[in-house]
Every structure is written in C-alpha cells, then in structure tokens.
Structure 1
Amino acid sequence: MRRFLYIDMASALPVSVQATKDRLQVAAIDFGTTYSGYAFSFRDEFLKNPLKIFTNQWKSQGGSTNLLSMKTPSCVLFSPEGNFHSFGYNAEEKYMKLAMDDQHTRWFYFKHFKMLLYENKNLTRTTKLTDDKGLKMPAHKVFSACIRYLKDHLLEMHATTGEGLKLGEMHWVLTVPAIWDDSAKQFMREAAVEAGIESEYLSLALEPEAAALYCRYLPMEKVVSSAGKASIESFAPGKRYLVLDAGGGTIDITVHETLPDGTVKEVYKANGGPWGGTTVDKAFVSFLEEVTGPEVMQIFKTTYKGDFLDLMREFEVKKKTMSPNEDAEAKTVFRMPIAIHETYRTVHGTDFRMSMLLQQDIKDNVTFTGDKMRVRPAQIQALFQKTIDHIVNHLTDIFKRPEVQGANMILMVGGFSESKMLQNALKRSFPSKQMVSPEEASLAVLKGAVLFGHNPTAIVARMSRFTYGTDIWPIFDPTIHMISKLKIVDGEQRCADHFDKHIEVDTEVCAGMTFEEHTYFPLYTHQTKMSVKIFTSPQKNPLYIDEEGCSLLGKIVVDLPDTQTTKEKEVVVKLIYGNTELGVEARVVKTGRVLSARFDFLG
C-alpha cells in the first residue's frame, strides 16, 4: 500500500541513541510526586556487590520537629523574579518563613506537581503549572530546575569525598511511572537535557520494573512476605508475580514472569491509576473541613502555612502505621494547632470543640482533649476507603485476566505500600496471594533504577499498551471505505484519516523489536520534510484515526532527500518497540540512505 502524507514543518528534538559503552558510574534520580532522591554506584562495585548503592540523607530543621530521611519533599521555590531558589526541605522551610512574615505572595511555590504529566493529555512544551496561590510558570522550567538541583546536589556532595564521581563517565537514569504516555516521557527527557544531562547518557526506567529488579537482587531475608520470609521460589524461572508500585501520586502495576536465564518479561501491560497516597492526604484535609468548616480550613492553610505543614507531616507519619482496629473505642490522636481554634472562633464566634456536639454525622467519631483531636477507627478507615476500593477493584479485574493466571505473589513497593491499611485490605481481598515487600519499600524504585542503569537488558520483553498506527490517505476503495472519507487530492480519489496499523495492543514485544516496515511517499514533490502522525487506540483493529478511543500521540518528522521526484522520496519508516521509550528509524527505499527521523509528542 502506498502511503501519502502531508507536509509538516514543525521542529522536534531527536530521541537519543542508548549509550553502548559500559557505564563506569550510574546515578539515578527518582523524582516522585511527594518525595524525591538520588542514588549512585560504580561499575566495579556493581560487579562485586550489586547492592552497594549510595544514597543521600536529607535533613529538615523546620517546623516543630527535626527530620532525617532518605528522600526529600518534591517541592520547589522560585523567587518573585522567577529564579530558582531551593528544593525539598529547604524550599518548604523558606516558604514557611516567608508566609509567617506575609512575604510569600509573589514567590512561586510548587508541590505535588508531577501528577500534571499523568493528568494532562494535551501536554506541550508550553504547558504551565499553577502554584498554591494561582501563580503560573512554564512546567518545563519547573521540572528541569528540580532535576538540575538533584543532579548538581549529587555531584557537589561527593566532590570532596574521594569517591571520584565524574560527569563524563556518569550514565543517568530517570524514573517514570509505567502508565505514563510517550509525551510525558519525552517531556521528562527534554527537561533532563535542559538540566545538563546529555541525552545519549540518559535512560528512563519504568518505576515498577526498577523496583522489581531491586527485589530480585535482595537476599530473601530482606524481602518479607505475609507468610514470613519470602522464599527464593518467589522469583524462580517460570514464576509470575504482580508488581504493585504504590507511590504518592499513582498506583503503577505490571505483571512479570521470570525466564530460565534469570531475565524478566512483562506478561500484562502496565496499568494503574491516580490512587496514590496523596488521595488519602486529600481525604484527611476534607475531613478537617467537615470538622471546622471550609472557610476556617482555607484561612488556616493560607495564613498559617507552618502549622499546616506540621499537621500534614504528622499525618504522613501516622498514615503508614494506622491500621484497622477491632476495638471501636481505640482512637488516633492528632495535635490540632492553636491557630485552628483561633480561626474558628474568629469566623464563627465560638469554640469549634463545642460545635462538634451539633454535627450528628461526625460527633460520635471525633472527641477533643485539650489541643488533641481523638478520632475513632471508623472515621480513620473512611479516610482510606475510597482509595483502597479503587486499588482492590482494579487488582480484582487484573487477576481475572487469562494472561495473569499463575501470578500468586503481589510485590508491594513504593512509599504508600508501607501503609498498614493498604496492606491489610489486600490481604483480606486476596487471601490466596502471597504479599511480599522489601524492608526499604520506599527506596526500591530508586535503588532499582541504579541497577537498571548497569543492566538495561534485564527486562527482555514488554506488552504493547496500545495499538499504534499512522494517518495515511490511500486510494479510495468504495467496498472498504466510508463515503464520508472520500477526498480529492491532485485529481485522485483518496480515503482520508485511514489508521495504518503498526503494532497491535497486548502484543508481546522484545526489547528493540521492530515489526513490518511501512513505506511512505510525500503528497507533493517539493516537500523537504514529511510528518508522519502517530495515533494510538485501545482497539485491536481501528479503521480510522477519529474512531472512539483513538488519540493523536504525536508525529515522526523525517527530513527528505533533496531530489526532484516523489519516487526518489519514497521512505521506509519503522518503529522500534519494547524499550522504555519508542524508537524510530527511516531510510530512502531507492538508495538505502538513513534519514534523520525524530519523534515530537509535545507539539
């Protein structure tokens, strides 16, 4: 079939070619919705002891408590002039001080902004982020500043330690959720390049894959299951297991099978949804609004930012330890800042502790002793219920799939996986499944990304999440095509909007695999560039690009040879699947000359 395409002169950045030399040093950046961090290791150490991975310990001295953690909050502060100021705990604490002096109104403060890349299905290079006050800044600038900070912090922290980190010998790995689309992945790659990481020395690692890789390297005594210690058979050849990466923003799920040579293949396409730990945080804030009223909480959040930060930090710690309690009188205690009491009295003219007696729906579950709010188990359970229901229902559907049969282990990783509420809910809902989690569940993705950087071929096959195809205008055939698609081009009858399938959804694809090559002609002889639009569909055999479910993913831009005839511009284009990012290759049919071809998923 001859495939004719319209000209499109839009520019795009090239997709990088994977560096092929040995990675003497590998550094990973896990840029999460709620927390971020970095880790690194040396090639010679990896060969002797793969788990000798260095991480950083982050300190907080703000609020009412000092904190030490292996990750830092994913929040960033920019000056009123739009210049980067600080990241993580430093950004939180500086912004808190500015707010106390009412000097924060012109500063840009962003938190939990990674979810934009999942939620925005029309992501472009000009997409903007909105901060907590409504101020806007280009998302690309915010993301690249955060990545640059983490990169520079790693290099600066170890510049004088004798560890010999060298930027020129470093291969970088950036973690991304497996359920992200290709435009979000390209956005992160371009942000990393802007942050000073050369594209040829950068890989993207899918978060649940990285976590699973880390767990496979762990001694079994470091991997604890619901039945005690996990056995080595859990990852034996032929065994299937589901990876549940429960992060702050998303739940990222994939199903793996171990192959005889110890490598891994994906047997069910990556999936999940926006049901991470931050949804429980939002439920907690909504509950406080019920207790105090929306107006009081709005004033509290905007005027007393330091107190609000302390309250949410306390909830973050307790969120992991809260569990279903059979004793209906057992209570979880929260210290309620005096600012809430004062704000309530200012707004309503009374003590909100007394007003609880009038709220029939919550008065039985909430009591007060001094500045302590005591909450009964039924109300605590309600904070988690909606989120847990989403996860359980989704897993129930997955375990019904024929390709998932035999997957009897759920490998739980990510910060939210440490929640007792989530763990207990999954044990009750899936009693026949073995629940397994590493001791450092929140670091599994980060450390696994380092291992992936040293061994990028550990995942040998993945499942295509969609049917991929291109938009072509073939000769119109009245026995096949809808009459509404008939168009006249240069005197010829053509079918507009035809979906030319490259690969079908749910197809197992080996890493670097290509399928049938597709040949394209430009519509006009004078074209110097040819734009091949890439579409996706959840259906196996879509006929047109505007069918329900079809989406424009982006385009491949091909630089055409400077020749006089359309025939001499006949080009073979093939997509390269099975890696963490799509690849593309184009060449002239007549001469075999390889052409410059690049993806543009961002417009």
Structure 2
Amino acid sequence: MILYENENLKQQKLKDVTGKTLAASEVFSKFIKALKDHLLTQIIEKGKTIKPHEIRWVLTVPTIWTDASKQFMRKCAQQAGIDEEKLVIALEPEAASIFCQYQEDKRASNERSLLNRTGQKYMIIDLGGGTADITIHETLTKSDDKFPLLKELHHAIGDDCGGTQVDNAFMEVLGEILGQKLIKLMKKKQPSAYLELLREFETVKRREIANKNNLRIPLVTINELIEELEEDNIDNKIKVSKYKTQIKRNRETFCIDAELMKSFFKPTIDRIVSLVKDTSKIKAIRDVSLFLLVGGFSECKHVLHALKEALPNKTFIVPEEAGLSVLKGAVIFGHKTGIIGSRFMIYSYGTKVFEPFDPELHEMSRKKKAGGRYICPKIFDFIVMKNDSVPVGTTIKREYVTDEPQQNFMDLDLYKSDSGLTKYIDEEGCYRVCKATIDIPDPSDEQRTVEVEYYFGDTEIRMTAVETDSGKSCKTFWKFI
C-alpha cells in the first residue's frame, strides 16, 4: 500500500521487522532481480536454450495503483536487468479473470462454462494482502484462437482492505497479552521467529473458524525474551489479560475461541462487504450476479461465508488455488495481451492550454492580458474522459508549437481529474500527474509543430512525438508524479 499512498516514491524508505530501513527502489529491484536470476538458473539447469532477450517478462500490480506507482515498478524492473521493451505490466484482477477463463482441470469445467458464455458478466474481487481490487468483465465472442475476448464494464474500484489488516489485528491482541515491549524485542532479536508466527497465523486464518482454533507459537523464543525482560511467565500474562477466557495455552499452542478469531476479521470483512455492495449498486452493472473471488485472502473461508451471507442472491466462485490465479493468469496475458478488448478510464486526462478570452465561455476572474491580447490560461484540455470505454491501443493526437526561436525542447504537463466536467487545471480534484520533456530535432528560428500521440486503453499510459515538418521522431522523456 505504500506505493499506492505515497506521492514521493523516489525518496520512499521501507522498514523491515527489525526496524532497519532501505530505499523502496532498492528493495523492489533486488527482489525482482532475485526472481529473474532464479528463473535463468533453472533454465540452464534444465538444459534449455532460452536466452534472456527471448523472454517476455510480466509484472503484476493492483488495478487501483497510480500511474506513478506503475512507472516506479517498471524502473525497478529495469534496475534488475530486465529490458524495458520486453516488460509488460499486468493488472492483477484482470490476470485472475483470464486464468479462470482458461482453466483446464475437471473441477473448473462448470465454472469455465459459466464464464465462457458470450455475454456473461461477472465481477472479479481480488483480495490480496494489502488491497481489495474489483473489476467487472463481460465475455465477448471468441477470437480466432477459439478463446473469448473480455470487455471491462466499469473502471476498477478498490480499497486498502486486504489480509494484512487481519494479521495486524491479531498481532495487536498478542501485543496486549505478551506486551508490546516483548513483540518489539522479538522483531529485533528473533525476526525469524516473528515471521514464522505470522506464517502460522496465515495458515490458521485460511481454515474454517472452529470453536477452538489452534495456533502454534514460538514458545522457546517467547520464554527467552520474557527471561531477558525479567517479566511474568506467559501463563500469568494470559490470566491477567482481558482475553483470559478467549485464549488458552496448551504447550506450544494457543487455543483461540471462535468469537475472538472472528473479531480479527470483522473490520476488514465489513469494509470488503461494503465495497462489494456499493459496487453492485452502480447502474451499469446492477444485473451482475456472478462473483469471482481470487487472490490469497480469498482462500480464507470466513471471508467467503461473510460475502455469501451479505449477498445471498449472488453466485460466488473461488477457483482452485485462488492465490495463484493472478500468477498463472499473468503468464497467459504475456502471450495474449490483447485478450482484454477495452478498459474504462478511472480518471479524465488532459493538458494545460490557453484560449483567447471569451466572456461567454470563461470566468471573468480568469481574464489575463498576454502579448497584447486577452487570454484565459490554465484550461483543462481533455484527452480522454473519466468513465469512457477506451479500446486497447487507442491513440489520440494533439499538436503543440514552440514558443521561441531555436527552441530545442518542449515541456508538457499531463493532468488527471476525478471529474468529467473539469474546466481548469487548478480546480479541486485536478492534479498534475506527469511531466514530459520532448526534444525538438534540428532547432531553427521558425515556429515548429510537434504532434504528440497518446496511447490509452492499455495497462499503462504512453506517449510518442513527431516533428511534423520533417517527420522525425522526437525523444520523449516522461515522469509520472
């Protein structure tokens, strides 16, 4: 979620369980490099002759991530040694949807037959560790390779209500029982024990919630830390806590009762249910009754029960190995990037322009004098509009002219707005999201015209530029903010 919430990703630091910090770009690039190197090693060990430049790499991100977050991940992949031209960004709920369309196992045959029907509409609810992402698809007629194409019916919706919030709720209670001082010391001195405890809870939270839920704890480590801190023993800590009737210890196991276990889930599940219900009320998708649950957190039985109880008239499908559906779907997407036929715009996008002042069109307070005439500056010039359905590969052209002789570059700002009615770039809800610099080839004293081509409808926004008189391509550098 840090990549989703933070505006200054270049300066962002990440903290590990011991409290040490490292630049986010270094963490992600090293992680991607480790995966890349592992794959290349496996290829060599298996005697394959695949070369790195023959591989298309697919990097998955949550749908609700910003353009800046996607660009950040792309740069991390480049730092990891992946060729930019060989890298594809896939949106996680889309990848999961594609996987479910392609399932081949017998158990999935009925599910696939439902999803494969021409005209079938369904909601993909991708429940991960940090986020819940929702995308709505419609199955179109089959393409030439006999597989269906998919159409997005509404722009993606999401929130930060993933499985890690449940983990945090559990650790908060554990800290109340054992003491936050002990938990902090465990993180610092015994991080492997702390992470093993989280992994154990991850296993437990995926099961059906029973009257008694057994959780294995690192008892030896806890006792060592208690001795170091000169604190009361673990059983006495439990007895004096407000959870003494809800948690019991049996050797190296905590027995957690059903109500306490459910309380860990409740805030997160309430937000997920609210998000799904609100999405279901959107006019364009009210008739969608088939819901597809994917992502690691969807494997928690309690989440499925809560959604079924809140939405009894909906059909829920949880594919086999739901936690791997994004990974497997991303592989398919890497081979068939055109399987998603169109996407809805989450925002309006445009540039800043000025126009001759017209009192019938412009606010009087915006009237400015420039070069002997009156103009209206800071006008939001729409390129695409929020909620537009944009076919994949859509290109939109705009022309821009130089301001002075011998101008060798041009700066261009891209803005986004959460409204389809924005008139000016300084209105509330309108933000600058990209700064582009376009090199002008062969500068001259004459005014030069540059044609910029914007690419929308894909998983990322792109742009290219050409100097119109010469037809020469312009080097274009853009940075999302």
TM-score by length of 2: 0.92
578-587 or 533-542, larger mean C-alpha shift = 578-587
The residue identity in structure 2 corresponding to 1:235 is: N
Letter of the 1:304 counterpart: Q
Of 235, 242, 246 in structure 2, the residue corresponding to residue 353 of structure 1 is: 235
Correspondence 1:166-181 to 2 at 5 A: 166-181=51-66
Q: Is 1:239–2:120 an aligned residue pair?
A: yes
Relative to its length, the structure with more helix (as a share) is: 2
2:200 pairs with 1:314: yes
Q: CA deviation at 1:352?
A: 4.2
In structure 2, do the counterparts of structure 1 residues 160 and 356 end up closer, same or farther at CA, with 3 Å as the change threshold?
closer
Q: Give 2:79's match in structure 1, choosing from 180, 188, 194.
A: 194
Mean alpha-carbon deviation: is it higher for 458-467 or for 406-415? 406-415
1:202, CA displacement in angstroms? 1.5
> Aligned equivalents of 2:160 and 2:391: distance in 1?
28
CA distance in 2 between counterparts of 1:337 and 1:271 reads: 42
Give secondary structure in 2 for the equivalent of 1:267: strand
The alpha carbon displacement at 1:592 in A equals: 4.5
Residue of structure 2 aligned with 1:294, choices 180, 190, 194: 180
C-alpha change, 1:524 and 1:401, in structure 2 (3 Å) is same
CA distance, structure 2, for counterparts of residue 353 and residue 526 of structure 1: 80
2:284 match: 403
- Residue 162 of structure 1 deviates from its aligned partner by 2.5
Is the Cα contact below 8 Å between 2:18 and 2:187 reproduced in 1?
Answer: no
Could you tell me which residue of structure 2 aligns to residue 536 of structure 1?
A: 416
Shift of the alpha carbon at 1:344?
Answer: 4.3
Distance 1:142 1:564 in 2: 45
> AA paired with 1:552?
R
- Counterpart Cα distance in 2 of 1:391 and 1:340: 34
8 Å contact 1:464–1:508 — kept in the other structure?
yes
CA-to-aligned-CA distance 1:440-491 (integer Å, 9 cap, x gap): 2122111111111111111110111100011223333344334554444444
Give the Cα–Cα distance (whole angstroms) in 2 for the partners of residues 223 and 411 of structure 1.
Answer: 12
- Residue aligned with 1:223, SS: helix
Instruction: Deviation per CA, 1:306-337: give whole Å up to 9, x if none.
Output: 322221121111121143x4xxx534344352
RMSD value, Cα: 2.3
| Selected match of 1:577 from 456, 467, 472 | 456
- The match for 2:151 is 265
SS of equivalent to 1:238: coil
Question: Quick one: distance in 2 between partners of 1:346 and 1:140?
Answer: 37
> Counterpart in 2 of 1:52?
none
Distance 2:246 2:331 in 1: 46
User: Which residue in 1 is equivalent to 2:431?
Assistant: 551
- In the TM superposition, 1:365-384 aligns within 5 A as 365-384=246-265
Match of 1:520 in 2: 400
- The one-letter code of the counterpart of 1:570 is T
In 2, distance between residues paired with 1:271 and 1:592? 41
Distance 1:127 1:494, change over 3 A: farther
> What SS does the aligned partner of 2:289 have?
strand
Question: Is residue 118 from structure 1 mapped to residue 4 from structure 2 by the alignment?
Answer: yes
Size of the aligned set, in residue pairs, is: 476
Cα deviation, 1:521-576, whole Å, max 9, x if unaligned, reads 2333343211111111111111122222212211232222434456x322232311
Runs of 4+ that moved beyond 6 A: none
Q: Which stretch shifts more, 485-494 or 155-164?
A: 485-494
Q: 2:306 aligned with 1:444, yes or no? A: no
Give yes or no for the alignment of 1:330 onto 2:216: no
* 2:151 aligned counterpart, secondary structure: strand
Equivalent in the alignment of 1:391: 272
For the Cα contact (< 8 Å) 2:212–2:255, is it kept in 1?
Answer: no
Single out whichever of 378-387 and 334-343 deviates more from structure 2. 334-343
Specify every segment of 5 or more residues in structure 1 that has no aligned partner in the other structure, as ranges: 1-114
Query: Residue 345 of structure 1: CA displacement?
Result: 6.1
The residue type equivalent to 2:403 in the other structure is L
Alignment partner of 1:562: what SS?
Answer: coil
In 2 relative to 1, CA 127–429 (structure 1 residues): closer, same or farther, beyond 3 Å? same
Question: Could you say which residue in structure 2 is the equivalent of 1:105?
Answer: none
Paired with 2:291 and 2:387, the residues of 1 have a C-alpha distance of 21
The corresponding residue for 1:277 is 163
Secondary structure (helix, strand or coil) at the match of 1:474 reads strand
Question: Deviation string for 1:70-96 (max 9, x for gaps)?
Answer: xxxxxxxxxxxxxxxxxxxxxxxxxxx
Amino acid at match of 1:123: L
Is residue 239–residue 406 contact of structure 1 (8 Å, CA) maintained in 2?
Answer: no
**Structure 1 residues 122 and 309 mapped into 2: Cα distance closer, same or farther (>3 Å)?**
closer
The change in CA–CA distance for 1:474 and 1:123 in structure 2 (over 3 A counts) is farther
Question: Counterparts of 2:82 and 2:237 in 1: how far apart (Å)?
Answer: 56
Shift of 1:496: 3.2
**Structure 1 vs Structure 2: percent identity of aligned residues?**
36
The CA deviation at 1:257 is: 0.3
Matched, 1:253 2:134: yes
Alpha-carbon distance change, 220 to 237 in structure 1, aligned in 2, over 3 angstroms? farther
Q: Separation in 2 of the partners of 1:537 and 1:584?
A: 19
* Displacement after TM superposition at 1:430 (Å): 1.6
Counterpart Cα distance in 1 of 2:364 and 2:108 = 61
Contact 1:332 1:377 in 2 (8 A): no
Q: CA shift at 1:286, angstroms?
A: 0.6
What is the TM-score when the length of structure 1 is the normalising length?
0.74
Q: Which residue number corresponds to residue 163 of structure 1?
A: 48
Structure 2 unmatched runs, 5+: 143-147
Residue 600 of structure 1, CA deviation: 1.6
Q: What amino acid maps onto 2:212 in structure 1?
A: A
